Amino acid sequence: MGKSVFLAATDQAADRPAAVEAFLKCCSAGGKAGYFKTVVKDPENSERIKGLAAKLVVAPRELYGLSVQEAVAYLNSGREASLIEEVLGRFSDAASRYDNVLIEGADLVDVVAYVLQGIDAKLAANLASPVVVFSGCGACLAASGVRYYKSESAEVIAVVLAGEASLEEAKGIDILKDVEIFKVAPADFASLTEAISQKVAAFKPTVVTPKRFEYDLIERARSNKQRIVLPEGDDDRILLAADDILRRGFADITILGQVDAVKAKAKELNLTHLDKAELVDVKTAPFRQELVDQFFELRKAKGITPEQADKQLNDRNWFGTMMVKAKKADGMVSGAGGTTADTIRPALSIIKTKPGCSIASSIFLMCMKDKVLVFGDCAINPNPNPQQLAEIAIISAQTAKAFGVEPKVAMLSYSTGTSGTGPDVDAVTEATKIALESAEKLYPGLALDGPMQFDAALDPRTAKGKMPNSKVAGQATVLIFPTLNAGNIGYKAVQRTSGAVAVGPIIQGLNSPVNDLSRGCTVPDIINTVAITANQAQAEKGK
């Protein structure tokens, strides 16, 4: 899918049909144009939906997310997040067929629809779609609409005033002063087509919500599907996640376990897509001997015998890791029923670290309300020395880039710049020096600085006072903690106090991606980790 634009009408006086026709022309200027409405009242009897469906030659159901009745049911049962996921999912399915999409907000036809305006604002932010607020009654309603959308981190690129709405009045309202305002005659939007098209084409989102990040993650995975092996086929959560992944079609899945038992459990759980998975019993797999032979060759210098190699691969984590090594899978996700060591030990023994990496490390993707930060290392290395800390910084920057985060690396300490002294500060200073030297070869142009305190790294005001000449301070996106103790405390403190979504740990530095799950993981956690692993596999292949 290419560009989208979100048309948000604030009142019933706004001539939606005329606006939709004009904005579809905006979308068609850049390729095949599509239409999607978030929530529709009585969609089965909506003449507008039927007419647009006929014009676009699609089924009416493909043009909207939910009916008002369905949306209200979600809200009344406290499932707003599920409502948003449902609409986003339906939008993703519809938008995959178009170059550009016009998204129209809910009809404001009764009291409940005004509640849905707040939902529309969240949807616009999650879709990273530029918003055009459209009012037919007055500037105050336009200002209210802009406030709604901005409060949810949606980005408003224009306000369109029609009918009685006054341009002069609008220019006097504070919240509208930074937004371009267009005044049009009722039902006359032709003059807007070129101007809006240019604004949409030039738009680059600056906000990344957690849902948007997840959406982009899955879309990148879908663009070049990778095969991910899941060793824990006896865990219901793994099967539920695999079924949903296969339904969405963003990865190919291999599940390790007793084949008949997995099929029986899939039937019991009513999983309708698991038949697309490759089911492998490690003891009877047709390629088992091939893996055993390769494993023996890899480990014979360590004193392993062929018999011991055969026995070792009865362990599904070792077998799954060998599948990755032998290119029968592109990555592995495990840990729902075991320890981190159970997942990591085979990877370190078989896949090993990349050239130039003396250690494997980890990051968490911290999905804030409107951006994504990268925290490392918060899960693996207790007390990295300066050389290791520098390695963690460089590889974390590379991982951030692979996930669409432009890296600006802050080497964290309890002191900023040269304001403090002591062994701990000196270690971070030395790590910063090594990392900058390494970056000249491994990541030319990387913005990296330190030591600096957490507030100096993220707060522009603090940064201006403490490190005014830094290209990182106040705008860091990758934060490198000096120890595991600090990193683990730091990510959990941010997660629990800010409401951030912590995605990870993501293991980095290995030749092929292997990622660990928490034993308390949820089905969405597993789905996201598979998507992350697929993205890493693509990055390793340069795809």
Distance CA 368, CA 370 (A): 6
> Which string of b and e fits 332-349 if b means at least 16 CB within 10 Å?
bbbbbebebebbbebbbe
Q: What is the pLDDT of residue 496?
A: 86
User: Of 10-14, 157-161, 299-303, 508-512, where does mean pLDDT reach its minimum?
Assistant: 10-14
Rounded mean pLDDT, 9-25: 69
Residues 6 or more apart whose Cβ sits within 8 Å of residue 142: 10, 133, 134, 135, 159, 161, 165, 170, 176, 181
Quick check: 14 pLDDT over 60?
no
Q: Kindly provide the residue ranges of all beta strands, DSSP E only, lying in 184-307, ordered along the sequence.
A: 227-230, 252-256, 278-280
User: Of 90-99, 394-403, 485-494, where does mean pLDDT reach its minimum?
Assistant: 90-99
User: Of 2-11, 38-47, 52-61, 487-496, where does mean pLDDT reach its minimum?
Assistant: 2-11
Superfamily of the domain at 3-205: P-loop containing nucleotide triphosphate hydrolases (3.40.50.300)
Task: Residue 218: name the closest of 376, 317, 96 by CA.
Answer: 96
Residue 69, CA distances (Å) to 39, 65, 75, 103, 118 in order: 9, 12, 10, 20, 16
CA angle 208, 519, 342 (to 5 degrees): 110
Distance CA 96, CA 341 (A): 40
The single-letter code of the amino acid at 541 is K
The pLDDT tens digits for 69-122 are 888 888 888 888 888 888 888 887 777 777 778 888 887 666 666 677 778 888
Distance CA 175, CA 147 (A): 7
Task: Residue 104: name the closest of 153, 33, 167, 164 by CA.
Answer: 33
User: Are 214-351 and 361-509 equal in CATH topology?
Assistant: yes
Task: Answer whether CATH 3.40.50.300 is correct for domain 361-509.
Answer: no
Q: What is the pLDDT of residue 61?
A: 87
The pLDDT tens digits for 441-468 are 888 889 999 899 999 999 999 999 898 8
Residue 212 is encoded by which pair of tokens? 């948007």
Quick check: 480 pLDDT over 90?
yes
Is 70 or 136 the better-scoring residue by pLDDT?
70
- Each domain of the chain, given as residue ranges in start order, spans 3-205, 214-351, 361-509
Task: Residue 473: name the closest of 462, 489, 484, 488 by CA.
Answer: 462
Q: Kindly provide the residue ranges of all beta strands, DSSP E only, lying in 177-235, ordered along the sequence.
A: 180-183, 227-230
pLDDT grade for 37, boundaries at 50, 70 and 90: confident
Beta-strand relationship, 372-376 and 408-412: unpaired
Q: What is the pLDDT of residue 169?
A: 73
Distance CA 397, CA 251 (A): 25
Q: Which SS3 state, helix, strand or coil, does residue 331 take?
A: strand
Rounded mean pLDDT, 28-43: 78
Q: What is the pLDDT of residue 314?
A: 93
Q: Please return the burial class of 355, using the count of CB atoms within 10 Å of its CB with bins 0-12, 13-18 and 19+.
A: exposed
Quick check: 410 pLDDT over 90?
yes
The pLDDT tens digits for 463-477 are 998 988 899 999 999
Question: Which residues are paired to 331 by β-bridges?
Answer: 228
% of the chain surpassing 70 pLDDT: 93
> For the domain 214-351, what is the CATH code?
3.40.50.10950
Rounded mean pLDDT, 338-349: 87
Q: What is the pLDDT of residue 238?
A: 94
Q: Of all helices (H) and strands (E), which one includes residue 446?
A: none
Quick check: 1 pLDDT over 50?
no
Residues 6 or more apart whose Cβ sits within 8 Å of residue 432: 390, 411, 448, 449, 450, 451
Quick check: 190 pLDDT over 80?
no
Handedness of CA 84, 85, 90, 93 (dihedral sign): positive
Distance CA 401, CA 439 (A): 14
User: Of 44-58, 276-290, 320-334, 405-419, where does mean pLDDT reach its minimum?
Assistant: 44-58
Quick check: 403 pLDDT over 60?
yes
CB of 124 within 8 A of CB of 131? yes
Quick check: 524 pLDDT over 90?
no
Question: Which residues are paired to 34 by β-bridges?
Answer: 101
Q: Please return the burial class of 303, using the count of CB atoms within 10 Å of its CB with bins 0-12, 13-18 and 19+.
A: exposed
Rounded to a whole number of angstroms, the distance between the first and last alpha carbons of the chain is 18
Task: Residue 400: name the closest of 437, 351, 446 by CA.
Answer: 446
Residues 6 or more apart whose Cβ sits within 8 Å of residue 246: 253, 273, 274, 276, 277
Distance CA 146, CA 347 (A): 50
Average pLDDT across the chain, whole number:
85
Q: At what angle do helices 68-76 and 111-126 cross, to 10 degrees?
A: 80
Q: What is the pLDDT of residue 374?
A: 95
Distance CA 138, CA 169 (A): 9
Return the half-sphere exposure (C-beta side, CA atoms, 13 A cut-off) of residue 500: 24
User: Of 166-170, 390-394, 421-425, where does mean pLDDT reach its minimum?
Assistant: 166-170
The pLDDT tens digits for 204-251 are 877 788 877 887 888 889 889 999 999 999 999 999 999 999 998 899
Quick check: 176 pLDDT over 60?
yes
Q: Please return the burial class of 531, using the count of CB atoms within 10 Å of its CB with bins 0-12, 13-18 and 19+.
A: buried
User: Of 85-94, 276-285, 305-314, where does mean pLDDT reach its minimum?
Assistant: 85-94
CB of 35 within 8 A of CB of 11? no
Question: Which residues are paired to 135 by β-bridges?
Answer: 161
Rounded mean pLDDT, 135-145: 76
CB of 234 within 8 A of CB of 261? yes
% of the chain surpassing 90 pLDDT: 36
CB of 365 within 8 A of CB of 536? no
pLDDT grade for 9, boundaries at 50, 70 and 90: confident
Q: What is the pLDDT of residue 30?
A: 62
Residue 422 is encoded by which pair of tokens? 């002591």
